[in-house]
Amino acid sequence: MEIALEREGHRDGRPVYRQIADSIRAQVATGSLHPGDRLPAIRDLARQLGVNRDTVALAYEQLATSGVVEASVGRGTFIAQRIADAAGSAPLVATLSPLTERLLAFERARPRFGSATDAVPMHSLVPDPSLFPADEFRRVLNRVLQEQGPELLLYGGPQGHPALRNVLAERFRSDGIDIEPDGIVLCHGASQGISLTFRLFAQPGDVIAIEEPTYNNVLAAAIALGLETAPIPMRDGGLDLSVLEQTLARPEVKALYTIPSFHNPLGTTTTVKHRRDLLEIASRFQKPVIEDGYETDLRLDGRAVPSLAALDSTGGVCHLFSFSKSLFPGARIGAITAHGRLVGALAALKASTDLSDALPLQAALAEFVSEGAYDRHLGRVRRVLLERRDVLLSALETEMPAGTRWTTPEGGLQMWVELPPGLDTSDLLPDAVRAGVLFSPGAQFYPDGRESGGLRLTYAMADSRAIRAGVKALARVVNERLSDAPQAARLHM
């Protein structure tokens, strides 16, 4: 048996025992060694290679662990009889499904911010961890585990922990949604609510009507499920109702997904009139509505507008809720409210996906909400976010060049900025990163990834001082571009 070692400094980074094991594995793979062949005794091979016996013993041990050899006391070490997988047969080159390939292509188009750690993170929709009530939550989690014991460590029912559904039903009812705890299906964040409700109404090849622009992960969810999307353009007052009418008239369009409050990425909120008109159209065409209320608890100012679920009288609205933005995303707790047979169907889909969510987190959150800790946290976090939002608005006013427009969100964590004509924000991003600010270019919120002069700015992660610096950097980059732009582009302004 020939084994070549590269001992000096492990040129390829592999320790000697691994080189011995790999060499034997390769000889099995190429057929130089066969099942049943006897390997040299440890002592002999160590002498032959000029290495320590322990080194050979370690190599043999590794080969035995991975099933390439079998050791038999007193007889020696043999190449195993059944070695197909373990002997290093050619690695499987799996063919990914076309849907997964499409999803990967979509993911590749997302901007990567990688090493830009010093830049102001105004692209991020992840809430600021310095605001998380982590100690308070930990205490509640310890307490529920102590009090409720091992039962909390079992699988839960597919609708989730009853205590959390009770407290949520009460809160939803006070927001005007007519729902009992039995009408709630808890889920792994609103993200899972999106996938479950899409699957509730549509199968591969079907179409979901979406807003354009919209939350980019909704586009990803549709791709992964083999669904097409029918984009409905967003106007100043919300999605275009006449395009909605034409879209929902198409039989292959199975449902509408909409974010009426604190829209992502636009930051806008629709009026009651727009909501009523939308519901009238949906019910006329008998199409269900998936309402994403992921930032419901983050209203910062202005008057609360009833949700679509609160205004609906047909039972055709599935409302998604999440604790990710208002508390923290790591608990991965969201909720779907639904009516009639949709509830059982959602529970079946949920069970078929992952059986149930983690009960300890749901039980702790139920306690956290019912003892008032969540509302106290909301009070604190809303004050901070309101200040940040106002700092952002006034920085835009002071810094940005004429011709820039932006939305004024009444809540949530994000707003949309439209740059003067002639600029593509994807193209601008590398300069902005170098200048010290991160934003989400508009293209990623459109299904066709088109050029966009819009961008999303958030005040989730950056504090007021950072926000001022971030907007200054953005304005600098935009001004430079405008002064470089050909005269023709500027004439549009």
Ligand X SMILES: Cc1ncc(COP(=O)(O)O)c(C=O)c1O
The contact set with ligand X (CB under 6 A) reads: 125, 189-191, 215, 259, 264, 292, 294, 322, 324, 329, 334
Q: How far is the CB of 123 from ligand X (least distance, A)?
A: 12
**Which residue, 329 or 409, is less far from ligand X as judged by CB?**
329
Q: How far is the CB of 297 from ligand X (least distance, A)?
A: 12
**Which residue, 264 or 425, is less far from ligand X as judged by CB?**
264
Q: Are 96 and 105 in contact (CB under 8 A)?
A: no
Q: How far is the CB of 400 from ligand X (least distance, A)?
A: 24
CA pseudo-torsion sign 174, 176, 182, 188: negative
Q: How far is the CB of 48 from ligand X (least distance, A)?
A: 59
- Please state, as a whole number, how many other Cβ atoms lie within 10 Å of the Cβ of residue 465: 10
- The DSSP output letter for 92 is P
**Which residue, 17 or 323, is less far from ligand X as judged by CB?**
323
| 320: phi then psi, degrees, rounded to nearest 5 | -105, 140
Tokens representing residue 384 in the block: 């901070």
Tokens representing residue 304 in the block: 């609360």
Dist. CA 27–CA 336, nearest whole Å: 57
Q: Are 189 and 322 in contact (CB under 8 A)?
A: yes
Q: Are 5 and 49 in contact (CB under 8 A)?
A: yes
**Which residue, 213 or 420, is less far from ligand X as judged by CB?**
213
CA 456 to chain centre: 17
Residue 38: which of 82, 78, 73 has the closest Cα? 78
Tell me the residue number closest to ligand X, measured at CB: 189
Dist. CA 280–CA 261, nearest whole Å: 18
**Which residue, 213 or 436, is less far from ligand X as judged by CB?**
213
CA angle 289, 290, 291 (to 5 degrees): 105
**Which residue, 263 or 388, is less far from ligand X as judged by CB?**
263
Q: How far is the CB of 313 from ligand X (least distance, A)?
A: 25
CA pseudo-torsion sign 397, 402, 404, 408: positive
Q: How far is the CB of 432 from ligand X (least distance, A)?
A: 21
CA 313 to chain centre: 32
**Which residue, 331 or 433, is less far from ligand X as judged by CB?**
331
- Which residues fall within 8 angstroms of residue 20, CB to CB, at 6 or more apart? 3, 5, 45, 49, 51, 55, 56, 59
**Which residue, 404 or 414, is less far from ligand X as judged by CB?**
414
Q: How far is the CB of 274 from ligand X (least distance, A)?
A: 18
